[in-house]
Structure 1
Amino acid sequence: MAAGAPRIFVSHLSGVAVFDPNGDQVGRVRDLVAILRVGRRPPRLLGIVVEVAGRRLIFLPMTRVTGVESGQVITTGVVNLRRFEQRPTERLILGELLDRRVTLVESGEEVTVLDVAIQQLPARRDWEIDKVFVRRGKGGALRRKGEALTVEWSAVTGFSLEEHGQGAESLLATFEQLRPADLANVLHHLSPKRRGEVAAALDDDRLADVMEELPDDDQVEILGKLKDERAADVLEAMDPDDAADLLSELPEEDKERLLTLMQPDDAADVRRLLSYEERTAGGLMTTEPIVLRPDATVADALARVRQQDLSPALAAQVYVCRPPDETPTGKYLGTVHFQRLLRDPPFTLVSSIVDNDLPPLSPETPLPAVTSFLAAYNMVAAPVVDDSGSLLGAVTVDDVLDHLLPDDWREAEFHAAEGDSHG
């Protein structure tokens, strides 16, 4: 990058594509790594944390970066795929520096860090943080507005101190567009302290979505840092089967306390799932499939399928049952697949187009038999029905995969690369 290049605010780099010299995409920027220096000298930028295929995080040294712009990063083409491991002396800029409360040296006033700017040093390949964008007043970028100003790094102090109660608003704004699985990847690689702060700042629904994508140990750690009432709210927002899986990791006393704090209907669903063996259809199923009465029309079914919060597997079919509509339902009549809904007129009754050729699964069906059923009939979900003929829920292919993969598969996904820490 040429000397005198303009400074770049790091929030503009979050998620941007990283390309090799041929124009092929290597991955996306997930954070930047800096090392703090003695006194008021600006921190040196060591490199970039890049997410490559499989959500693996690798380290890209700044010496292998030939261009940095708000829209893209260009590398020399030499990328080391060893996984990134943060060293004790290093700081993640997005993950650890944003939202800190620091002090203006001249006035002694506390301010909140909203962003920092990096710039390449003239005639060298070194980069450093040279500016800090801060806001006066309490709270972060999304709270009460105070005057915002850009100051030299040397004009503030407090970055080297371990901060308690650090906010997370600017960090969350930076990662606002990430899918839950990608934000889970970010959280997994933060320090436990910072992970707890970010989790506390997420709203219940967003945190529930992210929790479902985290390894069990991270889930338990985060839940343990929430106040009981908030923990119960997050569990209610999670899919019942995921909430049941998480609660099954807790001591009996903690599990019962949280279930008691949950809304009775939500707790009843989770208790029912906990009553089944883990590796059975009953233990795998979700209790919230799309259930329609026999007099519902194709138009009604399509309206339900279009609901944004449904997973693709659950949206692939509807289950026709007699009242009540909530699981456990009245008598299960059959399934209508999404493709069939697209072929029939909107006024058609779903009861006239049900597929009842395939026998439903019983809640005691073991995992291998569930897997064989889905594979043999090319299904992405299957109904689970009890001896009385009531629909209890549905097993989806993603839940089956969760239990077929090794217990630590999420951890392995986050640490896919072999080898030592970055060089």
Structure 2
Amino acid sequence: MTPVTPRVFVSHLSGVPVFDPNGDQVGRVRDLVAMLRVGGRPPRLLGMVVEVVSRRRIFLPMTRVTGVESGQVITTGVVNMRRFEQRPTERLVLGEFLDRRVRLVETDEEVTILDVAIQQLPARRDWEIDKYFVRKGRGGALRRKGETLTVEWSAVKGFSLEEHGQGAESLVATFERLRPADVANALHHLSPKRRAEVAAALDDDRLADVLEELPEDDQIEIIGKLQEERAADVLEAMDPDDAADLLSELPEEDKERLLTLMRPGDAADVRRLMSYEERTAGGLMTTEPVILRPDATVADALARVRRSDLSPALAAQVYVCRSPDETPTGKYLGTVHFQRLLRDPPFTLVSSLLDSDLVPLPPDTPLSVVTSYLAAYNLVSVPVVDESGSLLGVVTVDDVLDHLLPDDWRETDFHGQEGVLRGR
């Protein structure tokens, strides 16, 4: 009897680690590559797109895959570290198949593909697309409530033409466990059409986090394809410094139109940041550090830095200022570091713990001086004040790195090439 090989649904492979025969992790699965075939044969699975430690995406042929089980992929042989480039005859299974609308051969009824099953051929290393998990109905309530069923690959038709207005809910679901930087990397490698569809399916906060991690060209492309009201909402959800950087790249009329649609308070923060030179403390700073009044306690401070939406750099220290406690604040009094907060009783006033030796910087401080300041004092952020001593914002080390690295650093490897180059 011919042994039955297990069936694997591709949504379960997204982000799964890939290991070499020695047990060392090579990277993580980001997509699968298939080729449609003629003559009534099922689509053949050519390989996997694997993201290695340097964020480079490489091609792993299925002939090198020895196991797909228990939440991991095992490979054998030498891995080709050359960057993956999609060929015209190839299709990305997660990026292009999921959410695609096709028709059942028997009834001509329209269905939406929610998942794809693959299976290894017996006694061979070849893999084929085996089945589709689909939902009946087209969009809206029907799409959410329609009957779901698993059908053979041959039971559907409609893969030969490019689909316009393809949904993205199932693909977005595969991104749920990824960090914003990883989602951004996935979006960057999709076609412009698919990138716009996925961006439209993300909620405002998630899209804002992802936009902050994308290259400038992708940011401009995506924000330009959103409806203006939604684009303004996404800009409000972004960190003010990142929103200012993005808006500064848009034509003047588009920039003003979006600023007008934003909430006045958010727009004011962004306008203030855009008034400073880019490579200065004012142009680098964020206007949303953790600010406390002098009568706040250690317990108050710890509650504020515990917020999950704070970056580690912003949560590392709090800034004590007189009222008002939103930038630009009242007089800046000093900084309390997170480690100091952990050493004192909860009822202690933060005003008694100030590090007043940390001299704030004026907004026109050049980038080179800001960098030296952070390095000299081993800091992850530094306060920026105006002539009256009011806190305007803080410059964090991640924003400094963004401006020290090459403009295209998000699109290039930050580690050297690894492994031996071999043909696909």
TM-score, normalisation: structure 2 = 0.96
Query: Which 4+ residue blocks in structure 1 deviate beyond 6 angstroms?
Result: 418-422
Would the aligned equivalents of 1:59 and 1:422 in 2 still touch at CA under 8 Å? Answer: no
* Per-residue Cα deviation, 1:183-227 (whole angstroms, up to 9, x for no partner): 111101000000000000000000000000000000000001100
* Per-residue Cα deviation, 1:22-64 (whole angstroms, up to 9, x for no partner): 2111111111000111254211100001111122111000111
* Per-residue Cα deviation, 1:148-192 (whole angstroms, up to 9, x for no partner): 111111110111210011111111111211000011111010000
The whole-number CA distance in structure 2 between the counterparts of 1:195 and 1:242 is: 20
Cα displacement (A) at 1:414: 8.7
Q: Which residue of 1 aligns with 2:24?
A: 24
The count of corresponding residues between Structure 1 and Structure 2 is 422
Q: Specify the code of the residue in structure 2 equivalent to 1:4.
A: V
Q: Specify the code of the residue in structure 2 equivalent to 1:119.
A: Q
Corresponding position: 1:133 with 2:95: no
Corresponding position: 1:310 with 2:310: yes
Q: Which residue of 2 aligns with 1:343?
A: 343
The whole-number CA distance in structure 2 between the counterparts of 1:284 and 1:130 is: 52
User: 2:144 aligns to what SS in structure 1?
Assistant: coil
Where does 1:153-302 land on structure 2 (aligned, <5 Å)? 153-302=153-302
Cα displacement (A) at 1:339: 0.6
Instruction: Point out where structure 2 has 5 or more consecutive residues left out of the alignment.
Output: none
Q: Which residue of 1 aligns with 2:69?
A: 69
The whole-number CA distance in structure 2 between the counterparts of 1:357 and 1:250 is: 40
The whole-number CA distance in structure 2 between the counterparts of 1:194 and 1:422 is: 28
Cα displacement (A) at 1:122: 2.3
Would the aligned equivalents of 2:48 and 2:62 in 1 still touch at CA under 8 Å? Answer: yes
Instruction: Point out where structure 1 has 5 or more consecutive residues left out of the alignment.
Output: none
Deviates more, 1:365-374 or 1:80-89: 80-89
Would the aligned equivalents of 1:273 and 1:282 in 2 still touch at CA under 8 Å? Answer: yes
Would the aligned equivalents of 2:137 and 2:143 in 1 still touch at CA under 8 Å? Answer: no
Q: Which residue of 2 aligns with 1:123?
A: 123
Identity %: 84
Where does 1:35-46 land on structure 2 (aligned, <5 Å)? 35-38=35-38, 40-46=40-46
Cα displacement (A) at 1:10: 0.8
User: 1:151 aligns to what SS in structure 2?
Assistant: strand
Cα displacement (A) at 1:415: 10
The whole-number CA distance in structure 1 between the counterparts of 2:21 and 2:417 is: 23
User: 1:359 aligns to what SS in structure 2?
Assistant: coil
**1:422–1:116 CA distance, 2 compared to 1 (3 A):** farther
Would the aligned equivalents of 1:3 and 1:120 in 2 still touch at CA under 8 Å? Answer: no
The whole-number CA distance in structure 1 between the counterparts of 2:226 and 2:148 is: 31
Would the aligned equivalents of 2:382 and 2:395 in 1 still touch at CA under 8 Å? Answer: yes
Would the aligned equivalents of 1:35 and 1:45 in 2 still touch at CA under 8 Å? Answer: yes
**1:417–1:187 CA distance, 2 compared to 1 (3 A):** farther
TM-score, normalisation: structure 1 = 0.96
Deviates more, 1:239-248 or 1:139-148: 139-148
User: 1:27 aligns to what SS in structure 2?
Assistant: strand
The whole-number CA distance in structure 2 between the counterparts of 1:420 and 1:161 is: 34
Cα displacement (A) at 1:14: 1.1
Cα displacement (A) at 1:366: 0.2
Cα displacement (A) at 1:68: 1.7
Q: Which residue of 1 aligns with 2:59?
A: 59
Q: Specify the code of the residue in structure 2 equivalent to 1:127.
A: W
The whole-number CA distance in structure 1 between the counterparts of 2:422 and 2:195 is: 21
* Per-residue Cα deviation, 1:73-111 (whole angstroms, up to 9, x for no partner): 111131001111111111110111000010001101000
